[in-house]
Amino acid sequence: MEKLAVIYWSQTGNTQAMAEAVLEGARAGGADAQIFAVSEITADQAAEYPRLALGCPAMGAEVLEEAEFEPFFTELEPKLSGKKVALFGSYGWGDGQWMRDWQDRVTGAGAQLFNGEGLMINETPDDSGLADCRALGSGLAGF
């Protein structure tokens, strides 16, 4: 069973709800999956997982959260080569530039990006959005 880590940052609970659904899907897909708030894991610990589902909402001017998640991801970025990565996050405004920039960073680091793009959900995930999150987790488990 492949090890998979779901690592997220959430302020309002929207991205946390997404992360929990991704975890559920990953386990249903056969992965040995664990979930961590970004404050609970180091980049070195995250790099031990062959599959990573990373979740962060759009913040400010469509950027990753700057106090915890961005420093974590900056440290993780050079360790992503060869890893299988899925991205997800919620947003309240904008057109997804934060996700496009994040996707470019992941692929630029040599990781394989699941679905070729991240999963974005506007505000609070509804039942359909949570189903998309579960599908993301299950898909990453078999990717």
Structural domain count of the chain: 1
Mean pLDDT of 76-101: 97
- Per cent of the chain over pLDDT 70 is 100
| DSSP single-letter state for residue 58 | -
Q: Is the pLDDT of residue 10 over 90?
A: yes
What is the structure's pLDDT at 117? 97
| DSSP single-letter state for residue 111 | P
The string of pLDDT tens digits covering residues 18-65 is 999 999 999 999 999 999 999 999 999 999 999 999 999 999 999 999
Where does the pLDDT of residue 115 fall: very low under 50, low under 70, confident under 90, or very high at 90 and above? very high
**Torsion angle of the four alpha carbons 46, 52, 55, 59, in this order, in degrees rounded to the nearest 10:** 70
CATH code assigned at 23? 3.40.50.360
Phi and psi torsions of 46, nearest 5°: -65, -35
Mean pLDDT of 65-89: 98
Q: Name residue 26's amino acid.
A: A
Measure the CA–CA gap between 94 and 64, rounded to whole angstroms. Answer: 13
Mean pLDDT of 67-71: 98
Q: Which domain holds residue 36?
A: 3-141
